[in-house]
A = this chain, B = another copy of it.
Amino acid sequence: MAKENFVEQIADIEKDFPQWYTDVVIKTKLVDYGPVKGTMVIRPYGYAVWENIQRELDTRFKATGHENAYFPLLIPMSFFTKEAEHVEGFAPEVAVVTHAGGEELSEPLAVRPTSETIFGSMYSKWLQSYRDLPIKINQWANVMRWEKTTRPFLRTSEFLWQEGHTAHATEEEAMEETMQMLGVYKEFAENCLAIPVITGRKTEKEKFAGAVATFGMEAMMKDGKSLQAGTSHYLGQNFAKSFDIKFLNKDGAQKYAYTSSWGVSTRLIGALIMAHGDQRGLVFPPVVAPVQVVIVPIASKKPGVLETCAELKEKLQKAGVRVQLDDTDNSPGWKFNEWEMKGVPLRIELGPRDIEEGKALIFRRDTLEKNAYSLNGIVEEVNSLLTTVQKDMLESARVRRDERITYADDLDGILKGVEAGKFVKAGWCGCRECEDKVKTYAQATARVFAEGETKEKCAICGKPSKHVIIFARAY
């Protein structure tokens, strides 16, 4: 059977999750490996997901008063050395342009790994008075970080992202912005990607190089590992001081601004795959699915079948549904497998008998349920089903995740938890040594602080606990 063949092509999701991931991303044509090691080609099916993500986020950024701009790719290497922590964090990963136009450059140029420094240098030039504040700019761009081990979408030498960079008159405003954008990310992750996320502050060890504080959102993948899906940084006056971002305040005094930065990347596509995928392949939530509905004609050579399918396609298209009609020569069974693998939320099957009876079968990719619906009012039915699928996918992901959150009171408990594919909450004294021990002993890292929770003792050293940390193995 064709179906069997397809399943065989994808590695067992339970036994070999990494291979399952690779099989799925390549076979569904989301992505391919580029000719340079560690690079990826985002193919049209994968890029369509990114376009949907962009549209949803961009609307939210603009609604919260941000504007888009574009800053240069190449940054003088000297910029990085201006912020001590920043250079330490990024220098080892930087790709460097040394020659251009047939000559050696007088100063080597970094291909941006992130743009705090170049935004900072321009903000310093543009900013004069408190009247110019806040500055709230976002850019959609490619960035480059030379990584040793790479995986499509999750970790590649080049990736696409957005990076917001803002400057404010006060600490409070900059912190408010930092938290607002973390909130925007969370709402987007849950309502568009159907991925429940835990947001919270990161430890000093895990924070962004150059930030005062980093807040992240963590998503649980189907193997129980965590994926950092977005971060929002409160930068205090660190970059303002390094790049001289100053303004004249109301009292006529020169003051350093407070800045923030925040970003999400094409990693989110990896999150979508690993949060929702199953043995048959991808499962896309409708809001970001490249194709929301596929129509598969049954006995398509019978009179009237293709015509009815085409009419239905047009009606759905007019109603704003991203729909495709598969009128290729392949068998219905082959098409079912193909589109299930590609994660299309709804499949409509329509054959001569269905048409006669005035109905169609609709298959839900998320629950694998198939039900008959009257062709009258099917457009409304499809729209309502898409809403239901979106909601249900978030809900099942939440149930899956919540079942896999546990507590531990010692290192063994943390190890046992993460080995079982869980997020483990544990008390922490706050010292780097204990954090490192968890890494060595359990190959797990501190993801975020579990806000609002308290524990008496540090699970590692037994001293009084300052924070509850969510430990997990992570991508």
Cα distance A148–B101 in the bound complex, in angstroms: 8
What 1/0 flags go to A28-40 for Cβ under 8 Å of B?
0000101110011
- Check B99 against A98 for contact (C-beta < 8 Å): yes
Question: A100 touches which one: B102, B109, B118, B146 (CB < 8 A)?
Answer: B146
- Check A68 against B94 for contact (C-beta < 8 Å): no
- Check B148 against A41 for contact (C-beta < 8 Å): no
Cα distance A39–B68 in the bound complex, in angstroms: 18
Chain B residue numbers with a CB within 8 Å of A321 are: none
Question: A71 touches which one: B41, B69, B148 (CB < 8 A)?
Answer: B41
Question: A42 touches which one: B32, B35, B70, B147 (CB < 8 A)?
Answer: B70
- Check B35 against A79 for contact (C-beta < 8 Å): yes
- Check A111 against B97 for contact (C-beta < 8 Å): yes
- Check A125 against B32 for contact (C-beta < 8 Å): yes
Known pairs A94-B100, A99-B96, A102-B92; A44 contacts B71 (CB<8 A): no
- Check B122 against A39 for contact (C-beta < 8 Å): no
Instruction: Judge if A56 is at the interface, Cβ distance under 8 Å.
Output: no
User: Taking the nearest CB of chain B, how far is it from the CB of A115, in angstroms?
Assistant: 11
Cα distance A95–B471 in the bound complex, in angstroms: 43
Instruction: Judge if A408 is at the interface, Cβ distance under 8 Å.
Output: no
User: Taking the nearest CB of chain B, how far is it from the CB of A48, in angstroms?
Assistant: 7
User: Taking the nearest CB of chain B, how far is it from the CB of A227, in angstroms?
Assistant: 21
User: Taking the nearest CB of chain B, how far is it from the CB of A39, in angstroms?
Assistant: 4
Instruction: Judge if A393 is at the interface, Cβ distance under 8 Å.
Output: no
Known pairs A96-B99, A146-B100; A76 contacts B44 (CB<8 A): no
User: Taking the nearest CB of chain B, how far is it from the CB of A61, in angstroms?
Assistant: 12
Chain B residue numbers with a CB within 8 Å of A97 are: 95-98, 111
Closest to A136 in B: B44
Chain B residue numbers with a CB within 8 Å of A109 are: 36
Chain B residue numbers with a CB within 8 Å of A69 are: 41-44, 46-47
How many copies are assembled?
2
Cα distance A147–B51 in the bound complex, in angstroms: 32
User: Taking the nearest CB of chain B, how far is it from the CB of A201, in angstroms?
Assistant: 30
Chain B residue numbers with a CB within 8 Å of A126 are: 32
Cα distance A47–B36 in the bound complex, in angstroms: 31
- Check B39 against A74 for contact (C-beta < 8 Å): yes
User: Taking the nearest CB of chain B, how far is it from the CB of A209, in angstroms?
Assistant: 16
User: Taking the nearest CB of chain B, how far is it from the CB of A143, in angstroms?
Assistant: 10
Known pairs A96-B98, A102-B92; A44 contacts B72 (CB<8 A): no
- Check A93 against B101 for contact (C-beta < 8 Å): yes
Question: A122 touches which one: B32, B73, B122 (CB < 8 A)?
Answer: B32
Cα distance A112–B108 in the bound complex, in angstroms: 18
Chain B residue numbers with a CB within 8 Å of A34 are: 71-72, 118, 122
Cα distance A365–B17 in the bound complex, in angstroms: 61
Instruction: Judge if A67 is at the interface, Cβ distance under 8 Å.
Output: yes
Cα distance A83–B320 in the bound complex, in angstroms: 44
What 1/0 flags go to A143-180 for Cβ under 8 Å of B?
01011100000000110100000000000000000000
Closest to A122 in B: B41
Known pairs A94-B100, A99-B98, A111-B97; A47 contacts B72 (CB<8 A): no
User: Taking the nearest CB of chain B, how far is it from the CB of A76, in angstroms?
Assistant: 6
Chain B residue numbers with a CB within 8 Å of A70 are: 41-42, 47, 50, 142, 160
Chain B residue numbers with a CB within 8 Å of A144 are: 73-74, 100
Within 1-48 of A, Cβ neighbours of B (below 8 Å) are at: 32, 34-36, 39-44, 46-48
Instruction: Judge if A308 is at the interface, Cβ distance under 8 Å.
Output: no
Cα distance A207–B95 in the bound complex, in angstroms: 33
With A42-B71, A43-B69, A92-B101 known, 14 other A-B pairs at CB within 8 A are: A32-B125, A34-B71, A35-B75, A41-B71, A46-B69, A47-B69, A48-B67, A73-B158, A93-B101, A95-B100, A95-B101, A99-B108, A101-B148, A102-B146
- In the complex, the 10 A-B pairs of residues with the closest C-beta atoms, listed nearest first: A101-B146, A44-B67, A95-B100, A39-B72, A34-B72, A42-B70, A100-B146, A96-B99, A98-B98, A47-B69
